[in-house]
Copies of this chain bind each other. A is one copy, B any other.
Amino acid sequence: MKRNSRLSLALHALSHMAYDTGDAQTSADIADHAGTNPVVVRRVLGKLRAAGLLTSERGHSGGWRLARETKHITLADVYAALGERLVASEQPMETDTCAVERALDARVQQIMREIEESLVERLEHTTIADVQGATRQLPSHAH
């Protein structure tokens, strides 16, 4: 994996967990399926848990569970949980430049924020259930 892997991994993991809402899914299983490492999974899912999207249980037969139905988890929720900022970024304003420079800087940053907002609005319209969508009626998921 390389870029945007956190978002991608999160979607992967969430969709995966939705298959088996009965059993808790272990980091190791999820990591296997997503082609990565259990620690990486825990790192990413930890953020989703902090945002209330899922829960984890320690100890024997522990693992991860969805905290809500997939249709009530939007990609915007996931995006926010991960703290991603694909477009905008907080850049401290330079104080030693002239007024025109500062105004232009501010304007560019404002535009970037507006685009970020549009992106989030778009993400609100897709849920994990939508992601699962086409793959939902595939046969068994055993390996």
- By a beta-carbon cutoff of 8 Å, the part of chain A in contact with chain B is 1-4, 7-8, 11-12, 15-16, 33, 35, 75, 85-89, 91, 94, 97-101, 103-105, 107-109, 111-112, 114-115, 118-119, 122-123, 126, 130-135, 138-141, 143
> Given the complex of chains A and B, what is the CA–CA distance between A80 and B97 in angstroms?
30
> Given the complex of chains A and B, what is the CA–CA distance between A120 and B72 in angstroms?
27
B12 engages A138 (CB within 8 Å): no
Query: Hey, which chain B residues are within 8 Å of A138, CB to CB?
Result: 99-100, 103
B115 engages A122 (CB within 8 Å): yes
> Given the complex of chains A and B, what is the CA–CA distance between A113 and B86 in angstroms?
14
Number of copies: 2
> Given the complex of chains A and B, what is the CA–CA distance between A109 and B111 in angstroms?
27
The 9 closest A-B pairs by CB, nearest first: A103-B135, A118-B122, A86-B86, A3-B89, A11-B108, A104-B135, A100-B141, A100-B138, A107-B135
Query: Hey, which chain B residues are within 8 Å of A115, CB to CB?
Result: 75, 119, 122-123, 126
Query: Hey, which chain B residues are within 8 Å of A89, CB to CB?
Result: 2-4
Query: Hey, which chain B residues are within 8 Å of A114, CB to CB?
Result: 126
Contact of A108 among B15, B123, B143 (CB under 8 A): B15
Besides A4-B87, A11-B108, 4 other A-B contacts (C-beta < 8 A): A3-B89, A35-B94, A100-B139, A104-B132
Query: Hey, which chain B residues are within 8 Å of A143, CB to CB?
Result: 98
